[in-house]
Amino acid sequence: MSNLEGKIALVTGGTGGIGAAICVNLAAAGAKVATNYRNKEKAEAWQKEVKAQGYDIMIYQADVSDYDACEAMIKQVEADLGPIDILVNNAGITKDGMFKKMTKDKWDAVMKINVDSLFNVTRHVVEGMSERGWGRIINIASVNGQKGQMGQTNYTTSKAGMHGFTKSLAQEVARKGVTVNTVSPGYIATEMVMAVPEDIRNQIIAGIPVNRLGKSEEIAALVGFLCSEEAGFATGADFSMNGGQHMS
């Protein structure tokens, strides 16, 4: 496991499946970890649960599609914990539908939460990281952003766009000790995927060479590595972890 003693990490969407595993992985490696929430009750229950496992994760209310709310959250995190060294842009949603039936509301919601959030959150942390000469930014995209997926024009556009953001920002901050990478998970057994009807889920699993869904902890371990000192030479890259479902 990486040694992240003394590092401050902000993970968006930490109360969800993959985000929660990332929070725990970084906290176990010694980082002080904060996350944001929309649903206070859910977040407080989750915070209690992880505290019982021995991890103190700070929670802050902020919608990642709201620029001002993100700025306020980051100021508060930095006032409480210190300057942010690690940012994991993980919060995300799906609003699926075939394109001919895709509504503007579904399109806009996915763009605001999956794409605008990159600007809304990262904009407030990247300068500080550059000035201090160290930083790690990891954007959680998706295998479907790499390969495309029927019924997900909005989601796949947002996730493919995420990697463009990664590559451009990585070039801007590489000399400042800040790395920016994308992690593209395949199908992971979180609520998002378990909400897919069982017969469709079984068809998905049949198309995954390792013949199972991934685990949030597996994605979290990759994120943990990318946050480490040893990963300092990795930047602008898109790391796939998808059970062999898509090989590029």
**Rounded distance, CA 215 to CA 218, Å?**
5
Tell whether residue 187 is a contact of ligand NDP (CB under 6 A). Answer: yes
Q: Which is nearer to ligand NDP, 3 or 39 (CB)?
A: 39
The packing angle between helices 40-52 and 17-28, to 10°, is 40
Closest distance of CB 173 from ligand NDP, Å: 22
Q: Which of 2, 25, 122, 142 binds ligand NDP (CB under 6 A)?
A: 142
Matching residue, tokens 């993100």: 70
235: which DSSP letter?
Answer: -
Q: Which of 92, 135, 224, 243 binds ligand NDP (CB under 6 A)?
A: 92
* SS3 assignment, position 89: strand
Tell whether residue 188 is a contact of ligand NDP (CB under 6 A). Answer: yes
Looking at residue 144, its amino acid is: N
Name the closest residue to ligand NDP (Cβ): 16
Widest pairwise Cα distance in the chain = 51
Closest distance of CB 221 from ligand NDP, Å: 15
- Measured CA to CA in angstroms, residue 231 lies from 24, 101, 226 at distances of 19, 43, 5
Kindly list the residues in this chain that would bind ligand NDP in the complex (CB under 6 A).
12-13, 15-19, 36-39, 42, 63-65, 90-93, 113, 140, 142, 185, 187-188, 190-193
Catalytic annotation, residues: 155
